[in-house]
Amino acid sequence: MVGQDDADVRAITFPVEHVETPDCSVGVIVPYSAGGGKPVTRVKFFLCGSYPRKIDMRASQFFIATLKEAPSDAEVVSHKLMTRAGMIRKLAGGIYTYMPIGLRVIRKIEAIIREEMNRAGGIELLMPLIQPAELWQETGRWDKMGPEMLRVKDRHDRDFIIQPTSEEVVTDIARGEIHSYRQLPKNFYHIQTKFRDERRPRFGVMRGREFTMKDAYSFDRDEAAAEKSYQAMYAAYVRIFERLGLKFRAVRADTGAIGGSLSHEFQVIADTGEDLLVYCPDSDYAANIELAEALPPAAVRPAPTFAMEKVATPDTIRCEDVARLIGLPLEATVKSIVLATDTPLGPEVWLLLVRGDHELNEVKAGKLPGLDGGFRFASEPEIIEHFGCPPGYLGPLNTKKPVKVVADRTVANMADFVSGANEIGFHVKGLNWGRDLPEPDLVADIRNVVEGDPSPDGKGVLAIQRGIEVGHVFFLGTKYSAAMNCTYLDEAGKPQPMVMGCYGIGVTRLVGAAIEQNHDAKGIIWPDAIAPFTLVICPVGWGKSEAVRDTANRLYTELTAAGIDAILDDRDERPGVMFADWELIGVPHRLTIGDRGLKDGMVEYQHRSDPEATKVPLDEIVSLLRGKACA
């Protein structure tokens, strides 16, 4: 047993066996008595193998660096709390040092991810941070990635990048090492520093430039096998986020720049999230708003009832104001958005129409034929050239030059609507497709869904909530294997491209997301699984009471031996300081020991989310905490 009471001891030896577990984490075998039954031996996982746990964890020997006030550049609560709790310190925009408290949380998250990745068949390796340009040129992403990818040169003036992701390198490994269908499937992963030179880093570690990501890549012989790998990763992700103690939702997602055909995001539910999640409470439909389909209106377009009429709307630009001025509902107006594409023949101008109360979905627009090669918002000169009028009074009626008109499904179904008259200070009302102007060139779903829209699966109506994207799984197909000639030989001895999937988890972003979801006015409230410490022992009167000191030391030793990740606050701070610090840091379980209770043989237990402490007899506290704080 650990058996040491002396506060001055710095390095207690821990006479238990370190074992190499099947998934390569290092654990220690600890005696464990489950519910008072016969003692059993079980492996208690502390932290990952590369992070030896300091067994004697006393606050005076550790590093607690809390702040009363957050730096003024911190905007969101997780950034403020992480800084105040001493988890991170900013070095440059979007670049942070992970301080000791913060690193412990990261290591715990990594340990859980490793366990579940290994359980799901993943094989850990570690690919370099710096990668040669050649591989990226091979897939074409050297040119496609843009300034988000940090490029560096070595002393010979050769191009390198600091990796934002590792598809190229892992595919290079696979094509070099895997030659036979017998070697498939394989899933390689690593947990590595990434660098993405974000246009606007913000929100602390939530959108940093340098961050830690777990990225995994699966290689299979065919689509069916690859889909199994995808499902295995999906299931592993569900387990990971459940173990982390977070409320999350898996949603269908756009495949974006990475490419591929099937994709889910794992979103931590938080009102401060940047993403909008669409889900159906009556079914299992869930998607990112980028992807969620707005179904065509069920009804047939009504017949025109009014004559078209031009109305003066001086200085009235926004649909809301136009509707109010004319005295019609906002739903009767149509919003005009002008896009441009740059073709070899020069710019082409597009007019996209959504209902006044709807919003354009740029991801959907970007998939339209003609816009799928990339688009931009048209410049004001381009707008005037084509519409004969500056922004604010634009519409599909009588454009000066022909433009390609794309109407949202809802707009295509409208009658007697309002839009700009392409004349400064005027709109038109009573406008009707077919009668007053030709049918749109294209009718498509180009808007964001709104709450109450019918669910695409036909099983109810949609609801919307905010989330933080912490994980993303992609079915890649052969996009990279084809580009890089990554093949294996099948039974017939024929080369076949490997079918790939890729799977990411933002480790450092998870830290921020967990805080966004779990905090109060005093600070962070960690889920047990990722708390920097599971339990803090707060002795009141450490410096003056031998009884307090002895009891604290003894309980610390016993609880640690029981496998509880505890820290003993021996700093001899005043209680207010001590409590405020640990509440800010967010340690979920607190044991308070003071002369006041000790004289009655009592100590106090309080969970971070409890309103107040509970008195517990001294001889019951260890078994109580074993039940509560021993994950």
Say if residue 378 is exposed, middle or buried (CB neighbours under 10 Å; 0-12, 13-18, 19+). buried
Which member of 193, 324, 373, 377 binds RNA (CB under 7 A)?
377
Q: Choose one: 10-18, 176-184, 311-319, 492-500; the region binding RNA (CB under 7 A).
A: 311-319
User: Minimum Å distance from CB 393 to RNA?
Assistant: 9
101 binds RNA (CB under 7 A): no
360 binds RNA (CB under 7 A): yes
Does the footprint of RNA cover residue 422 (CB under 7 A)? Answer: no
Contact range with RNA by CB under 7 A, out of 70-78, 105-113, 291-299, 477-485: 70-78
SS3 521: coil
Of 244, 237, 273, 212, the C-alpha closest to 508 is 212
Phi-psi region of 287 (alpha: psi -120 to 50; beta: other; left: phi over 0): beta
Under rule CB under 7 A, residue 425 binds RNA: no
Rounded to whole angstroms, the Cα distance separating 187 from 502 reads: 9
The residue (of 154 and 380) whose beta carbon lies closer to RNA is 380
Residue with Cβ nearer RNA (120 or 567): 567
Interface with RNA (CB under 7 A), residue from 458, 544, 617, 627:
544
The three-state secondary structure class of 137 is helix
Q: For residues 378 and 431, which CB has a smaller minimum distance to RNA in the complex?
A: 378
By CB under 7 A, which span of 29-37, 86-94, 171-179, 211-219 interacts with RNA?
A: 86-94
**Least CB distance to RNA at residue 177 (A):** 40
Binds RNA by CB under 7 A, chosen from 136, 203, 266, 433: 203
Nearer to RNA, 203 or 237 (CB): 203
Q: Is residue 111 within the footprint of RNA (CB under 7 A)?
A: no
Among 2, 397, 580, 631, binds RNA (CB under 7 A): 580
Q: Does the footprint of RNA cover residue 319 (CB under 7 A)?
A: yes
Work out which of 111, 287, 561, 584 binds RNA, going by CB under 7 A. Answer: 584
For CA atoms 135, 138, 139, 140, give the dihedral sign: positive
Distances 280 to 61, 99, 286, 339, 613 between C-alpha atoms, Å? 51, 41, 6, 32, 40
550 touching RNA, by CB under 7 A: no
Residue 124 CB neighbour total at 10 angstroms:
15
Site for RNA contains 341 (CB under 7 A) = no
What end-to-end distance do the CA atoms of the chain give, in Å? 20
Which residues sit opposite 211 in a β-bridge? 194
617 binds RNA (CB under 7 A): no
Query: How near is the Cβ of 478 to RNA at its closest, in Å?
Result: 34
CB-based burial, 296-311: b 16+ in 10 Å, e otherwise: eeeeeeeebeeeeeeb
Residue 440 makes contact with RNA by CB under 7 A: no
Which residue from 116, 167, 210, 382 is in contact with RNA, where contact means CB under 7 A? Answer: 382
Q: Own/partner pairs for 322-328, CB < 8 Å, 24+ apart?
A: 322/356, 322/418, 322/427, 323/356, 323/418, 326/418, 326/427, 326/429, 328/418, 328/429
Q: Does 567 bind RNA (CB under 7 A)?
A: no
Nearer to RNA, 236 or 338 (CB): 338
Q: What residues does 7 pair with on adjacent strands?
A: none
Q: Where are the alpha helices (DSSP H) in 272-370?
A: 319-326, 362-365
Contact 219, 181 (CB under 8 A): no
Q: If binding is defined by CB under 7 A, does position 122 make contact with RNA?
A: no
Number of residues that bind RNA (CB under 7 A): 60
Distance CA 524, CA 67 (A): 14
In terms of CB distance, is 234 or 350 closer to RNA? 350
306 touches RNA (CB under 7 A)? no
Residue 362 contacts by C-beta under 8 Å, 6 or more apart in sequence?
none
**Residue 532 lies near RNA (rule: CB under 7 A):** no
Identify which of residues 68 and 494 has a Cβ nearer to RNA in the complex.
Answer: 68
Task: Check residue 428 for interaction with RNA (CB under 7 A).
Answer: no
What element of type H or E holds 187? strand 186-195
d(CA 418, CA 332): 6
- 596 is a site residue for RNA (CB under 7 A): yes
Question: Using the rule CB under 7 A, is 595 a contact of RNA?
Answer: yes
Q: Specify the stretch interacting with RNA by CB under 7 A; choose among 407-415, 489-497, 529-537, 586-594.
A: 586-594
C-alpha angle 561-563-569 in degrees, rounded to nearest 5: 75
The answer for residues whose C-beta is within 8 angstroms of residue 384's C-beta and 6 or more apart is 390
Name which of 573, 584, 328 is nearest 592 in CA terms. 573
Residue 586 as a binder of RNA (CB under 7 A): the answer is no
CB of 139 to RNA, least distance (A): 26
296 or 347: CB nearest RNA = 347
Instruction: List residues binding RNA (CB under 7 A).
Output: 66-73, 75, 84, 92-94, 199-203, 317-320, 335-338, 359-360, 377-378, 380, 382-383, 391-392, 394, 522, 540-541, 543-544, 574-577, 579-581, 583-584, 592-598, 604, 606, 613
